[in-house]
Structure formats: C-alpha cells, structure tokens
Structure 1
Amino acid sequence: MSQPVNAVGRMLGVLGDEWTLLIAQQALLAVTRYGDFIARLGISNAVLTGRLAAMTAEGLLERTLYHVGPARYEYVLTPQGRALWPVLASIWEWERRWVPDHAGQLPAMRHTRCAVDFAPLLTCGACTQVVTEKELAASWGPSGSWPRSMPVESTRRRSGAESTRGRAGLFPQTMSILGNRWSFALLVTAFVGATRFNDFAEQLGAPPGSLTDRLQIFTAGGVLEMRGGRYHLTEKGRAFFPVLITALQWAQRWYPNPEGPAVLLRHTLCGNDFKAVLTCDQCTGPLRGADVHEHGRDD
C-alpha cells in the first residue's frame, strides 16, 4: 500500500498553477471582489470561478457575504493564504531579474518601511546571515521521499484559451518548474549535488523520456548548463533557490505530517535548524507581506 503524499506533494498540487499564484498575489494587494479580479487579471469568468472555488476548498481563501439582495461575496485570504507572500515575493524577484521574455517589464517591489525599491534576501532566522544553497544541509525527514513528494494528480497547466487574456504568462519560467512534478524534483536534486543523467534517474525514479525533456528545457532556459558531460546549475538556476525554500517552508507549516517533516534543513554556518526569513536588501530589516507593494506598474 502506497504511503500518503507529504507536504512537498501537497504544495506542488496547490502552487503548480499560475492562475492560483496570480489570484493570491492580487489578494495580497487587497483585491477581494470577483469583478476586481476580472479587471486586474483579465481572467475569464469560468477560470476565475473554478480557481476561487478550489482556493476556498484548499483553505487559501474565505468566501464571505458582503451584500444582500442580490447576494454578493468577496474572497479574503486566510492566514494560510497570506503566508504565501514570501513565495510570491521570491518568484517576482526571480522572474523580474532573470526572465527576459515578459510582454512588459515587471514592476519593482517597494518596501514601504524604508520607502525604496528592494530585492528580498534569504536569511537565517537564527543568525540573521544571508544564506545560499552552499550553506544549507538538506536531508529527508520522517515523511520524506520522492514517491511521497509527488502530487496525487499532475499539476494543471493552463489551456490555450486561458493563456490568451490578461496576465496569464506572468510567471512563465516559474511554472516550468512548479507546474511540473519532475521539474521541481530535478531542480531540488541538482541543488543537493546531482550532475549526471544517471544520478538524476537513480534518485528520482523518473521516466527517462520525462527526465530528458526536463533537462533539455532547463538547459535551453539557462537554468542548467552542460559541462564535461554533467549538468551544472547556472547563476540563474541558483537564484531560484529562495523560491524552493520559501515554498518548502510554507508547505511544512501548513501541511504538517504526524510522522514529522518531509525535509530537514540545517544552516551549516551557525549549526541551527534553518528557518527562512526574507529581509530587505536596502534597509536589512525583516520583510512583512503588508509592507511589500508593486511599484512602477502603469495601471
């Protein structure tokens, strides 16, 4: 009998959909009403209705009545939904800096506490030092394994009809990672040191065709590069690390397993269990979701 999906698999099933991320982003910017989501995102009624229902069922949004006769509802982020802001801030920074094929330049993020545009820095909650993948030791926890980290169903891709309007496609390369279960697994495996095709195949158990396809996509997209018959993370690939870590931390907070966490992280420089904290690269202060805003978009 197969074991239940762990926190990583639950996270991939929820976040591996671009419209879900975009709706959560707008909700963090205080959008709550159906018509406002339509106006801001250019999303179709059918797609928005489906995503709002799914996000409400998942516990990311709460549907509340704000008008009687006729009944009208608004969708307010729950604590679980609000806790996504570090993931979205990390995605925004990576796409803004590293992905050139946006229809228009993504606006900067402004930290209202210091009133300047900023980039989020991944730091250790224990020692406050900036952290890269080189300073973290990762291992499977009691509920961890690749078979248990795969979503029950393949994460959903937008159809062509969904992609023709509005801001769909805002996170194109992020979705090539979060929107495919083998992509996410492959990238994590690259971060923990795998470089050869056989290493990826052995650790992941992925079908050879799927693995070849993902490696080609990552190489073409500049996330990996081939050197001496091995696949190495590029600077762009390493820069995706905060997205992986904040998504993992969100998942393990909101989808706890009675057996224990799926992944254990230790900061090797201070020796403590690692808890990610995003800080402002301008004022060095810790960031809060309420203090982060888009800046420079032509609305």
Structure 2
Amino acid sequence: MLGVLGDEWTLLIVQQALLGATRYGEFTDALPVSHSVLSARLRTLVAEDLLARREYQSRPPRAEYPVTPRSRSLWPMLTAVWEWERTWVTEHLTALPAMRHTSCGADFSPILTCRACEATVIEKDVVAQWGPSGSWARSTPSTTHRRRSGDRRAGAGALFPQTMSVIGDRWGFALLVAAFVGIERFTDLQTELGAPPGTVAHRLATFTSEGILRSHGGRYRLTEKGRAFFPVLVCALEWAQRWYPDPEGPAVVVTHRGCGRRFHPALACDQCCGRLRGSQIMTA
C-alpha cells in the first residue's frame, strides 16, 4: 500500500479520477503536474490496476483512464485525508473546500464508525495485533517513490502537505502506527522498527514540528491532531488488506472493544448520520 500510494501525485490523480476525470487533458487541467510525471504515474496506476487504459481514438492515438474497483474503493481513505488536511493543516496555499453529502445536501465531516455495530469509533476503542503475516519488518516497504524537496509544496503538496509526511515515507508511516499502539520512547521505536537512529530522530522531529506528536520527559505522544489521523490510518489499512492479501493471513487484526468483533471502518455523515458512499460525496 505504501509503495503504491506513498506518492502525492498518485493520490491526487486517483482523487481526480474518482471525481470524473478520465482523459489526459482533464488531469493536466485539474493538477499542476508535468507531462513526464503524469505519464509515469498513469503507467504505474494502470500496472497496479488502479486505473484501466482504454483507447478511444487511433489517429492520433488517444486513451482514457477509467477507474477500477480497486481505485473506487479508495474513497474512504481519500475522504479521511481531505478532512484531516482541511481541519488540521493551515499551510495550504488556498483553503480546501468543504465536502458535501449529496444524499442530505449538507456540508459534512466524516465520522468513523464500526461497520459491524455502527458505533462511532476513536483510536482508544480498538485494539490491534499482528496477524499471521504481520511484523514491523514485513510491513514497511523497502522503497517508495522518492519525495521531492524544496518545491514539493508548490505542486501536489499544496493539497496534502502533511499527509505526505506520513504516508509518503515508509519510516514515517511505521513510526506513527507505533505511536498509535503505545510505543513512546526513542529507543523502543528504534528497536521495534529496526530503523537507523538518525532516521527515527528525523521523523520524530518532523512530526513534532508539525504538531502530530509532542515530546515530554523523553516520551513522544500523539497530540489531538495526531489522533485525528486515525481514520486515515485504518481506512488505508482496510484497503491494503483487501487488495494485497497474504496467503498466510492478515498482517494486522483490529478488534472493536465495544462489540468484540473484527473492526472494519465505515464513514458516516455527521449531519444526517447516514453511512457515506463515495458516489454521494462532492466538494462544496
């Protein structure tokens, strides 16, 4: 999941595709992306079955890129990312618009719920354990798309600047997951993740400066802003384990304390309390 989605342009291209863009020109009109980057990402997305490629003109050759079931099922994660950035990140060049639930007609914020019992869920309401195929070593990819520096926030990073600090970096994502399961000390983080000390120090400094973690007495704990990232994390995990299953079994097993059943996330509208569907969401 991190290897595929840990790239800001990939997320934004999929987002535009879910909003209806299918043709090359529609992506370039919507995003400040270079032709070389867009062409490369479209090839990757087709190879990963996140987009299909369908030629609609032969002279000259032109193709469109409709969404697939795999990319359509990303809408909960993208909705959670949009809400987190809109609510907690102030550095956007322009404010992100609200989301509208077309079913009730109201601007809304998504609420994380348990699909089994429909109760509202926060991070303290679930317990996570490694499954048969899970471990820190197996759950961090060896490579991801290389992140841009310097001008990264002038492009795609203008929309998802701090989200990419987390999911755009394999160690950053693993460290935040470790924080959610209660690992707080530098030495414990280094030992569990198997990351170099300098890597852990750099990621901790980044998350602290962005207000995702706070440091006190040698411990690094999630802030309110950091805890608010939980819906993104569990929606990403749900998508990853659906589309990248391991024959040995799941990597992570999450249980809802409230009902005692396996936790599968669902998003609801905070205005009408109805369960959200991707086709019912638009920007206001």
**Shorter-chain TM-score range:** over 0.9
One-letter identity of the residue aligned with 2:263: F
Give the corresponding residue for 1:189: 178
Deviation at residue 155 of structure 1 after TM alignment: 3.6
Distance 1:162 1:211 in 2: 22
Across the two proteins, how many residue pairs are aligned to each other? 284
> Within the alignment, does 1:294 sit opposite 2:252 as a pair?
no
| Corresponding residue to 1:49 among 5, 23, 39 | 39
**Structure 2: unaligned runs, 5 residues or longer:** none
Instruction: Find the residue that maps to 1:272 and give its secondary structure.
Output: coil
Give the corresponding residue for 2:29: 39
Instruction: Find the residue that maps to 2:133 and give its secondary structure.
Output: coil
Distance 1:97 1:270 in 2: 29
> Within the alignment, does 1:111 sit opposite 2:101 as a pair?
yes
> Within the alignment, does 1:133 sit opposite 2:123 as a pair?
yes
Deviation at residue 205 of structure 1 after TM alignment: 1.2
CA displacement 1:148-193 (0-9 Å, x = unmatched): 112131342136577655x443101000000111111110011011
Higher relative contact order at CA 8 Å, sep ≥6: structure 1 or structure 2?
1
Instruction: Find the residue that maps to 2:81 and give its secondary structure.
Output: helix
Distance 1:162 1:101 in 2: 13
Q: Is the 8 A contact 1:61 1:78 kept in 2?
A: yes
Against the structure 1 CA distance between its residues 217 and 160, is the aligned structure 2 distance closer, same or farther, given a 3 Å change threshold? closer
CA displacement 1:86-129 (0-9 Å, x = unmatched): 11000000000000000010000101000011011110011101
Q: How does 1:52-91 map to 2 (within 5 A)?
A: 52-91=42-81
Distance 2:148 2:273 in 1: 38
Distance 1:162 1:75 in 2: 25
Q: Is the 8 A contact 1:43 1:162 kept in 2?
A: no
Instruction: Find the residue that maps to 1:49 and give its secondary structure.
Output: helix
Q: Is the 8 A contact 2:215 2:221 kept in 1?
A: yes
Identity of aligned residues (%): 59
Deviation at residue 42 of structure 1 after TM alignment: 2.0
One-letter identity of the residue aligned with 2:78: L
Distance 2:158 2:39 in 1: 19
Give the corresponding residue for 1:7: none
One-letter identity of the residue aligned with 2:247: P
Give the corresponding residue for 1:6: none
Give the corresponding residue for 1:15: 5
**Structure 1: unaligned runs, 5 residues or longer:** 1-10
Give the corresponding residue for 1:206: 195
CA displacement 1:45-99 (0-9 Å, x = unmatched): 1110000001000110000012232221100110001111011000000000000
Q: Is the 8 A contact 2:133 2:250 kept in 1?
A: yes
Q: Is the 8 A contact 2:98 2:108 kept in 1?
A: yes
